[in-house]
Amino acid sequence: MFVPSHFTADPEQVRELLQHPGAADLITPTSDGLLATFLPLHFDPSVGEHGALLGHVARNNPHWQAEPTGESLVILRGPDSYISPSWYASKAEHGRVVPTWNYLTAHVHGPLVVHDDVLWLDGLVRRLTDQHEAGREAPWSVSDAPEKFVAGQLRAIVGVELRITRIEAKAKYSQNRPEADRAGVVVGLLAEGDPAGAEAVRGQRNGR
Per-residue pLDDT at 99: 97
Give the predicted TM-score (pTM) of the model: 0.91
More confidently predicted of 91 and 161? 161
| 208 vs 206: CA distance, rounded Å | 6
Percent of the chain exceeding pLDDT 70 equals 98
Beta strands in 41-188, from DSSP E residues, in sequence order: 42-44, 52-58, 72-77, 81-83, 100-110, 112-115, 157-163, 166-172
The per-residue b/e assignment along 78-97, b for 16 or more CB within 10 angstroms, e otherwise, is bbbbebbeebbeeeeeeeeb
pLDDT higher than 90, residue 95? no
pLDDT tens-digit readout, 34-90: 999 999 999 999 998 899 999 999 999 999 999 999 999 999 999 999 999 999 999
For CA atoms 59, 61, 64, 65, give the dihedral sign.
positive
Per-residue pLDDT at 92: 86
Per-residue pLDDT at 206: 47
pLDDT tens-digit readout, 113-161: 999 999 999 999 999 999 999 989 999 999 999 999 999 999 999 999 9
- Mean pLDDT in the chain? 94
Answer yes or no: are the C-beta atoms of 190 and 182 closer than 8 Å.
no
pLDDT tens-digit readout, 148-203: 999 999 999 999 999 999 999 999 999 999 999 999 999 999 999 999 999 999 98
Per-residue pLDDT at 208: 44
Q: What number is the average pLDDT over the span 3-25?
A: 92
In Å, what is the CA distance from 151 to each residue of 65, 114, 168, 180?
22, 19, 38, 57
Q: Which domains does the chain have, with CATH numbers?
A: 5-85+99-179 (2.30.110.10)
Answer yes or no: are the C-beta atoms of 97 and 85 closer than 8 Å.
yes
